[in-house]
Structure 1
Amino acid sequence: MLKFLLWLILFVFCWPLALLALLIWPLVWLLSLPFRLIGITFEALFAFLRAVLMLPARLLGHNPAA
């Protein structure tokens, strides 16, 4: 009987949180999109800078895999 009461308490407390998460998650996702785009942009920028800085070494025959 105690387990059943605990399940009922869990149900009462958790379904509003689940509904709230379902309603708020799309808003959080939309707010995080600009930060994702900024992260992708900076990752591409750093890859480009690394390629430019390593170009002389690659032209002189340095093999990064070796």
Structure 2
Amino acid sequence: MRLFTGLVLWAILFVLCWPIALLLLLLYPLIWLLLLPFRLLGFGVTLTLSMIFALFLLPFSLMR
């Protein structure tokens, strides 16, 4: 569903302003590579916080 939404939004942009749509299509891999470290950092932070949360809840789950 997310892919379809992106495709529809890109098609609307292509109809309204095709040079920007083509530029976005060409620059998308570069933008994806630039944002990749932030995705990995977010994954690491989420994993760390979920592990800390599980450690705090461990005594309660052992009492059950």
Q: TM-score, normalised by structure 2?
A: 0.69
Identity %, equivalent residues = 45
Distance 1:39 1:14 in 2: 33
Please identify which structure carries the higher helix content.
2
Task: Indicate the structure whose relative CO is greater, using CA pairs within 8 Å and at least 6 residues apart.
Answer: 2
Q: How many residues align?
A: 51
2:21 pairs, out of 2, 5, 18, with 18
**Are 2:41 and 1:30 aligned?**
no
Inter-partner Cα distance in structure 2 for 1:22 and 1:41: 29
> Aligned pair 1:46/2:46, yes or no?
no
Secondary structure at the counterpart of residue 17 of structure 2: helix
Deviations for 1:2-43, whole angstroms, at most 9, x for unmatched residues? Answer: xxxxxxxx96x7221111111111111000100000011111
Give the TM-score, by structure 1 length.
0.67
Where do 4+ consecutive residues of structure 1 move more than 6 Å? Answer: none
- Greater C-alpha radius of gyration: 1
Unmatched segments (≥5 aa) in structure 1:
1-9, 62-66
